[in-house]
Structure 1
Amino acid sequence: MLTDWINKSNVRLINRAKDWHSAVALSVQPLIDQNAVESRYLQAIFTMHEQIGPYYVLGEGIAMPHARPEEGVIKTALSLVIVSEGVEFGSEDNDPVYIIFALAAVDSHSHIEMIVSLSKLFCDEEAVNTLKLAQDEQEILAILSQF
Structure 2
Amino acid sequence: MNIGDASERSGVSAKMIRYYENVGLLPSVPRRTNGYRDYGDQEVAVLQFVRRTRDLGFSLDEVSTLLALWSDKKRPSREVKRLAEDHIADLERRIREMRAVMKTLRGLAKHCHGDERSECPILDDLATPRKASSPLTKRH
TM-score scaled to structure 1, two decimals?
Answer: 0.30
Bigger relative contact order, structure 1 or 2, given CA contacts below 8 A and separation 6+? 1
TM-score scaled to structure 2, two decimals?
Answer: 0.31
Larger relative helix fraction: 2
Larger relative strand fraction: 1
